[in-house]
Amino acid sequence: QVQLRESGPGLVKSSETLFLTCTVSGGSISISRYYWDWIRQPPGKGLEWIGSIHETGTTDYNPSLKSRVTISVDTSKNQFSLMLTSVAAADTAVYFCARHGGLPIWGQGTTVSVSA
Amino acid sequence: NFMLTQPHSVSESPGKAVTISCTRSSGNIASNYVQWYQQRPGSSPTNVIYEDNQRPSGVPDRFSGSLDSSSNSASLTISGLTTEDEADYYCQSYDSNNWVFGGGTRLTVL
């Protein structure tokens, strides 16, 4: 059974860069039908898609975040990562990694707070 | 680009059925698969319907998904409501390879 788990710092200072990693277990990240995504949810708000990556390295980003986001994949570690630059208070959220293509699978999420 | 519009809230009594709509603003609702997610308070979203009408294993058959081309919308119907169904429900589809989420619907079972 495929599982996804997010990891990274729970606290990031304003204007710095956030790095999160998603580790995929129970299955390979190198299956062509799947895309691997990052989604976030600010406190008390709805879901916002950040971007996705394919095992070939092809990426798509939310236009509203595109200038600050980079998603990368490391097939040797069965992981993919999110880098978000110049964070601000509005980036405080629960960050989820997910798989799409067929049955969606999500991680449990990791809370990221941005401090002044 | 398109938007997905959901009612802000719905409520119904235990044992009854409720339908939550998700209307696509432009383009054909059937052009891209629709997913539905349930999010209970304090928990992460879980998928209850994928690819318009497919149920993941473990999701009761009280949950069903459908499309309506006349209203360009997708619907999630939950029958035999219980208090455990009280949650936020989000629809999601794709614009090219970009995800689009609806704003979410708060279901109250009372």
**pLDDT, tens digit (0-9, with 9 covering 90-100), for A27-47:** 999 888 899 999 999 999 999
pLDDT along chain B (110 residues), means of 10: 96 98 96 96 94 96 97 98 97 90 97
Residues in chain A whose Cβ is within 8 Å of chain B: 35, 37, 39, 46-49, 52, 60, 62, 94, 96, 100, 102-109
Asked if A94's CB is within 8 angstroms of B51's CB, the reply is no
pLDDT of A15 reads: 97
Q: Is residue B46 a contact partner of residue B39, using CB atoms and an 8 Å limit?
A: yes
Integer Cα distance of A37 and B45 in angstroms: 14
Predicted local confidence at residue B96, as pLDDT? 82
Q: Is the pLDDT of residue A116 over 90?
A: no
CA distance B73 to A2: 31
pLDDT of residue B64: 98
CA atoms within 13 A on the CB side of A15: 1
Closest partner residue to B44 (CB to CB) among A37, A102, A108 is: A108
- Are A93 and A112 in contact, with CB atoms under 8 Å apart? yes
pLDDT given at position A74: 93
Q: CA–CA distance from A93 to each of A12, B22, B93 (Å)?
A: 12, 25, 22
Beta bridge partners of A114: A12
- Nearest C-alpha neighbor of B38 from the set B28, B29, B50: B50
For residues A14 and B102, what is the distance between their CA atoms, to the nearest angstrom? Answer: 29
Dist. CA B44–CA A110, nearest whole Å: 10
The distance in angstroms from the start CA to the end CA of chain B is: 37
pLDDT tens per residue, range A102-112: 899 999 999 99
pLDDT digits (tens, 9 = 90+) for A62-87: 999 999 999 999 999 999 999 999 99
Q: Which of B2, B46, B55, B97 should we substitute to test contact with A (largest number of A Cβ atoms within 10 Å)?
A: B97
Q: Which two tokens stand for residue B62?
A: 């009280």
Confidence of residue A101 (pLDDT cuts 50, 70, 90): confident
| pLDDT at site A32 | 83
Residue B30, pLDDT score:
96
What per-residue confidence (pLDDT) applies to B19?
98
The closest alpha carbon to B46, from B29, B33, B22, B63, belongs to B63
% residues pLDDT > 70 (chain A): 100
Residue A42 and residue A92 in contact, taking contact as beta carbons nearer than 8 Å: yes
